[in-house]
Amino acid sequence: MPTSEWPPQEKMQFQLALRRRGVSDLAVLRAMEDVPRELFVAAGDRADAYRDVALPIDCGQTISQPSVVAYMTEQLQSKPFHRVLEIGTGSGYQAAVLSHLAGDVVTVERFRLLAERARERLARLGCRNVEVVLADGCSIPDELGHFDRILVTAALPDIPEALVARLQPDGVLVAPVGPQSGPQALVRLRKTKDGVDRAELIEVRFVPALSGIAREI
């Protein structure tokens, strides 16, 4: 896959910032280094591509700050033999990071424009193990099957049982949970033989998950 041509000093600062934020998984750090974030932001925001800030993208959505992307990815604990579902493709940046860590990635987006542009970016980068699906992330199509890992990149009021049911045994789901205008927590679920273990990790702020496929774009 092509790597970023961003100035090495800025990329080094980027990696140091992630480590200072507590990200320590070397595979995740390598994936974050290898994915050129500047290709996933608007042209006018490229000077800020490696700052630890969220940036606006099309359709009123955002690309999360790198430290949050790295932390969520680390909590997912993806392995090369895992099949991963991402709900909320956005720019495609998170899917590109996951493509370096998982065997197969299915990413679902409700906005046609975002899905098409993410598909183009991922193809340009050679992310052949990523499938972009235009679908309702709140009602995953049955034909997509089950997954070892599920990552949600929009805030849910709570995690639906139907989504937990898509996890394979010992599967992990990571999602922001909480109201649009109130406190949200990043939640990690692990499916065990005895049930589901739930842990609240950090406070976060995400746009809300919306149902249906967007009609206008």
Q: Within a domain: residue 210?
A: no
Q: Within a domain: residue 1?
A: no
Which domain range does residue 84 map to? 8-204
pTM (predicted TM-score): 0.92
Weakly modelled stretches of the chain, pLDDT under 50: 1-3
Q: Within a domain: residue 211?
A: no
Instruction: Report the alpha-carbon distance of residue 73 to residue 29 in Å, rounded.
Output: 10
Q: Within a domain: residue 15?
A: yes
Residues 47-62 have pLDDT tens digits of 999 999 999 999 999 9
Indicate if 64 belongs to the active site: yes
How does DSSP assign 26-39, residue by residue?
Answer: HHHHHHHHHS-GGG
What is residue 5's predicted lDDT score, i.e. its pLDDT? 60
Q: Within a domain: residue 215?
A: no
Instruction: Report the alpha-carbon distance of residue 62 to residue 8 in Å, rounded.
Output: 26
Out of 4, 24, 64, 91, pick the active-site residue.
64
Contact 130, 6 (CB under 8 A): no
Q: Within a domain: residue 138?
A: yes
What is residue 80's predicted lDDT score, i.e. its pLDDT? 97
**Of 68, 72, 67, nearest in space to 175 by CA:** 72
What is residue 182's predicted lDDT score, i.e. its pLDDT? 82
Look at the chain and report how many structural domains it folds into.
1
Q: Within a domain: residue 216?
A: no
What is residue 1's predicted lDDT score, i.e. its pLDDT? 42
Q: Within a domain: residue 212?
A: no
CATH number of the domain enclosing 25: 3.40.50.150
